[in-house]
Amino acid sequence: MEINEKILEKYAKVAVTMGVNVQKGQTLILNTSIDAVPLTRAVVKAAYEAGAKQVQVNYGDDIVSKYHYTYQDLETLKTVPQWLIDSKLDYMKDGTACMLRICSDVPGILKDVDGEKLGKAMQARAAAMKELNAYTMANKIQWSIVAAPNAEWAKQVFPKDDEETAVSKLWDAILHAMRIDEENDPIAAWDEHNRTLAEREQKLNDMKLKKLHFTNGRCTDLTIEIPDDGIWAGGNEKTTSGIVFNPNMPTEEIFTMPYKYGVNGTVYASKPLDYNGKLIDDFWFTFKDGKVVDYGAKQEPEALKSLVEFDEGSCYLGEVALVPYESPISLSNILFLNTLFDENASCHLALGKAYPMNIVGGTEMSDEELAAHGVNLSDTHVDFMFGTADMKITGFDQNGKELSIFDQGNFVF
Ligand code: ZN
Ligand code: ZN
């Protein structure tokens, strides 16, 4: 299905100006997919119109990646040549780069690849990319992610439809989540949405919460402590040099970091998780003093194991995010099988690295200082969804006072 030109231009403009917010004279690093060629071209044009000095386009192909992971031996997969890292790092080091990803993943694409090999390869690659990823994790540059459909993905989301209908439906769902239609001004819609998120963020920060208690009918019963100088964030963010950008689009979440050693209880996931091309489903974790001490999954348990055992920090949490059950993505009742969307339809947690900006002064701290503040460090960060229509969240402030945050899946304020 060909999406009409006007909509594509609108989408590209939202991604370039609201998302990554390309500044005059910047280099845009655009990581994209061969399944998203029309959107990629529209984004390149929009970026130049916004004043980009140059746009570096890196096309990926999920099927080719699958062949790499299937046929290359582990040693080859684990080897990341320095030139590949430098091809992006060079632009970031000179301080004028920004980065956009157009995601068009096929859910479960690597399901037939040997799990142990895949896990080890991903671990080595993440370690090699550590310096590169630090630029986005600490908001040293503007970065954003948007999505474009592909036929395989669309057929998994809408299995009863023929390919053309499925792709068309997935486009509609993505555009709806992105607050874009034929008639509206999506930039104004995003400004308004960012304001709503900022108000909620302010309320949560004013509460000075020390602890959150989550319960629902799925038997989730989890308490999460928040560091004393923890910061709630959501919607748009600022780089360390003060440029505003929207890191994930769409976004509906308000999030902070858990105190690394302050998570206790059991949480049941409420949606499947596409982890490195493996679709993990029906899974749960039990935490003690922050650490995953027990877990299980009915589908792809081996992939879950490789996530938990990824590195020293992957068995601790790095993010707790609140998303109302009545958000547009949630109300669409579509299971996207893609974290960019599903995490914005549901309260979620992330195993692995915490965002340094979620603690006062964090983006200026060394790894040692972050660790001393109870901030989880890891080479990975993987969100999983646990929100439900009956989610109840009670907060406790510094004086132990009880504050209602969520009732029946939604913010009480
Ligand atoms: Zn999140
Ligand atoms: Zn996350």
Per-residue pLDDT reduced to its tens digit, 341-379: 999 999 999 999 999 999 999 989 999 999 999 999 999
Confidence of residue 40 (pLDDT cuts 50, 70, 90): very high
**What pLDDT, on the 0 to 100 scale, is given for residue 138?**
86
Q: Which of 84, 137, 93, 102 is nearest to 30 (CA)?
A: 102
pTM of this structure: 0.90
End-to-end CA distance of the chain: 42
**What pLDDT, on the 0 to 100 scale, is given for residue 179?**
94
CA 202 to chain centre: 22
Tell me the CA–centroid distance for residue 357 and ligand 1, in Å: 13
**What pLDDT, on the 0 to 100 scale, is given for residue 90?**
92
pLDDT at residue 41 above 90? Answer: yes
Tell me the CA–centroid distance for residue 181 and ligand 1, in Å: 25
**What pLDDT, on the 0 to 100 scale, is given for residue 413?**
87
More confident residue, 94 or 80: 80
Mean pLDDT of 266-281: 94
Tell me the CA–centroid distance for residue 370 and ligand 2, in Å: 18
- DSSP count for the chain of H helices, then E strands: 14, 20
**What pLDDT, on the 0 to 100 scale, is given for residue 374?**
96
Residues 145 and 249: beta-carbon distance below 8 Å: yes
Query: Which ligand approaches the C-alpha of residue 323 most closely?
Result: 1
The string of pLDDT tens digits covering residues 389-408 is: 999 999 999 999 999 999 99
Mean pLDDT of 113-130: 93
Q: What share of the chain in percent tops pLDDT 70?
A: 100
**What pLDDT, on the 0 to 100 scale, is given for residue 12?**
98
**What pLDDT, on the 0 to 100 scale, is given for residue 2?**
63
Tell me the CA–centroid distance for residue 104 and ligand 1, in Å: 19
The CA distance from 321 to 363, in Å, is 19
Give strand pairing partners of 274: 279
**What pLDDT, on the 0 to 100 scale, is given for residue 266?**
98
Q: Encode burial over 315-327: b for 16+ CB neighbours within 10 A, e otherwise.
A: bbbbbbbbbbbeb
The CA distance from 272 to 231, in Å, is 28
Mean pLDDT of 277-294: 97
User: Is residue 353 classed as helix, strand or coil in its secondary structure?
Assistant: coil
**What pLDDT, on the 0 to 100 scale, is given for residue 137?**
86
**What pLDDT, on the 0 to 100 scale, is given for residue 1?**
54
Q: For residue 97, give both structure tokens.
A: 């780069």
Mean pLDDT of 318-341: 93
Tell me the CA–centroid distance for residue 164 and ligand 1, in Å: 31
The CA distance from 55 to 38, in Å, is 15
Tell me the CA–centroid distance for residue 165 and ligand 2, in Å: 31
Mean pLDDT of 86-113: 93
Tell me the CA–centroid distance for residue 232 and ligand 1, in Å: 11
Tell me the CA–centroid distance for residue 382 and ligand 2, in Å: 6
**What pLDDT, on the 0 to 100 scale, is given for residue 3?**
80
Tell me the CA–centroid distance for residue 92 and ligand 1, in Å: 24
Q: What share of the chain in percent tops pLDDT 90?
A: 93
User: Which one-letter DSSP state was computed for residue 98?
Assistant: E
Q: What mean pLDDT value characterizes the chain? A: 95
The string of pLDDT tens digits covering residues 53-72 is: 999 999 999 999 999 999 99
The string of pLDDT tens digits covering residues 235-262 is: 999 998 999 999 999 999 999 999 999 9
The CA distance from 317 to 80, in Å, is 27
Tell me the CA–centroid distance for residue 2 and ligand 1, in Å: 31
